[in-house]
């Protein structure tokens, strides 16, 4: 279990988190919901070790392999979709396997061979999701992963996320109750 206890974080005079405590059970999906500006992304960044907390503790992440989908796609622009995904695989998967995973989220053969700089926002988003979910990670953090996807594509990608995260420890951040319900898991408000 990942245990967050008394977490606090401020940026200048703006307090973002104040004494937050939260348990994220192993092998399950926890959906963190709340309006913009309440500290959901800040919590994700603290859990991923990207931002230090001002006070409080996080236990249960030491030694774990982490993967994330950030609000920004954070892809290598000059690489293809396949190349971006293969970055996290350390040569373990053939390009054909990666192409199959990208096809599962609706990316065609014409798309996956282009540099991601030439893909649409929704296509890039799906590449980022596949990359995170194929990484050999014990803890997966998905921060607004379905942002920018049309409804039909979103449903397909939610199914993919549910299938690929089954049995893994997942923190999914959203402000959309429909997404939260479709993904499933325990919903926690912030």
Confidence class of residue 10 from pLDDT cuts 50, 70 and 90?
very high
How many residues make up the chain in this entry?
190
Average of per-residue pLDDT across 24-41 = 93
Calculate the average pLDDT of the chain.
94
Average of per-residue pLDDT across 27-56 = 94
Residue 91 confidence (pLDDT): 66
Task: Give the closest residue to 170 by CA, choosing from 189, 190, 186.
Answer: 186
> 3-state class of 73 per DSSP?
coil
Q: What is the pLDDT of residues 49-82, one digit of tens each?
A: 999 999 999 999 999 999 999 999 899 999 999 9
Say how many CA atoms lie within 13 Å of 85 toward its Cβ.
Answer: 27
Task: Give the closest residue to 23 by CA, choosing from 47, 50, 5.
Answer: 5
Third-level CATH fold of 1-63+166-190: Rossmann fold (3.40.50)
Confidence class of residue 146 from pLDDT cuts 50, 70 and 90?
very high
Confidence class of residue 36 from pLDDT cuts 50, 70 and 90?
confident
**Domain definitions of the chain by residue range:** 1-63+166-190, 65-137
Q: How far is CA 141 from CA 14, 35, 97, 111, 119, in A?
A: 24, 18, 23, 26, 24
Which residues, 6+ apart, have CB-to-CB distance to 72 below 8 Å?
none
H/E segment holding residue 20? strand 14-24
Residue 82 confidence (pLDDT): 93
Residue 106 confidence (pLDDT): 96
Alpha-helical (H) ranges within the chain are 40-47, 81-86, 95-104, 109-112, 121-134, 151-165, 177-183
Angstrom distance (rounded) from CA 85 to CA 167: 21
Confidence class of residue 90 from pLDDT cuts 50, 70 and 90?
confident
Confidence class of residue 94 from pLDDT cuts 50, 70 and 90?
confident
Q: What is the pLDDT of residues 126-139, one digit of tens each?
A: 999 999 999 999 99
Task: Give the closest residue to 27 by CA, choosing from 157, 184, 166, 120.
Answer: 166
Residue 92 confidence (pLDDT): 67
């Amino acid at each position: 279990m990942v245990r967050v206890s008394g977490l606090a974080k401020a940026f200048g005079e703006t307090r973002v988190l104040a004494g937050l405590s939260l348990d994220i059970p192993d092998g399950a999906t926890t959906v963190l919901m709340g309006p913009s500006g309440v500290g959901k992304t800040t919590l994700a960044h603290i859990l991923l070790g990207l931002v230090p907390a001002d006070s409080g503790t996080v236990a249960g992440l030491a030694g774990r392999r982490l993967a994330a989908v950030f609000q920004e796609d954070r892809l290598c622009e000059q690489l293809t979709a396949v190349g971006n995904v293969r970055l996290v695989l350390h040569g373990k998967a053939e390009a054909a396997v990666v192409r199959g995973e990208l096809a599962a989220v609706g990316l065609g053969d014409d798309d996956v061979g282009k540099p991601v700089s030439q893909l649409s926002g929704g296509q890039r988003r799906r590449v980022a999701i596949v990359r995170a979910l194929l990484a050999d990670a014990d803890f997966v953090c998905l921060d607004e992963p379905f942002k920018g996807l049309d409804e039909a594509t979103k449903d397909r990608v939610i199914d993919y996320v549910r299938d690929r995260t089954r049995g893994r420890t997942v923190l999914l951040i959203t402000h959309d109750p429909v997404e939260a319900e479709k993904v499933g898991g325990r919903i926690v408000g912030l």
